[in-house]
Copies of this chain bind each other. A is one copy, B any other.
Amino acid sequence: MSDALDPDAYLASLRRLRQSRRFLDRPVPREDLEKLLEVARWTGSAKNSQPWHLVVVTERETNEALAGYGAFTGFLSGVAASIVVALEGTGRSVAYDDGRLQERVMLAAAALGLGSGTAWFGTPESRQQVRDLLGMPAELEPWSAIGLGWTDTSQRQAAPELSGRKPIEEIVSWERYRR
């Protein structure tokens, strides 16, 4: 860890990450997007397979189209940019790697002052729509996208029922499982 990073502040930043799905009408500089892509590029993956291709979408019209595909994508109509994550394969292992990549990119976005949220293309039909829109080959599965933008910090509070967490005793055991 670099001397420029205080461990306690760093851990606090990891605890603090939340999803944002409402953004200001203000573009994200290309330079910031490139920084996020570099972070994504260095994400670890099973056997270093790097089973992904990322499509960055800044065109409003394209993001509005993506917002219509699937049940949990509507907020993409209001993002400044999205990063569609297309994976090679449908297995558990690539889903795990997808989670690693998205977590890292969302943390990087927060470091740049950006909000971010995950969108899901949960059905085969919605993934085919994404493929058609973006000109993707059949062997890539566009499972998800990260929506990005500047947030109105005056409206930062998430609904309490979505921001709470189970107490530590409920999710952790020591040495052996106990409930």
Contacts and interface: CB of A to CB of B under 8 A. Distances in A.
Copies in the complex: 2
A156 interface: no
Contacts of A103: 43, 99-100, 103-104
A107 B10 CA distance: 9
Contact of A62 (B41, B43, B162, B175): B175
Contacts of A62: 175
A39 B40 CA distance: 21
Nearest to A6: B4
Nearest to A164: B48
Contact of A95 (B16, B19, B95): B95
Given A17-B42, A55-B173, A58-B174, 15 more contacts: A4-B9, A5-B5, A10-B10, A11-B111, A15-B39, A15-B42, A37-B168, A37-B172, A38-B168, A41-B171, A50-B166, A52-B171, A55-B176, A58-B175, A90-B92
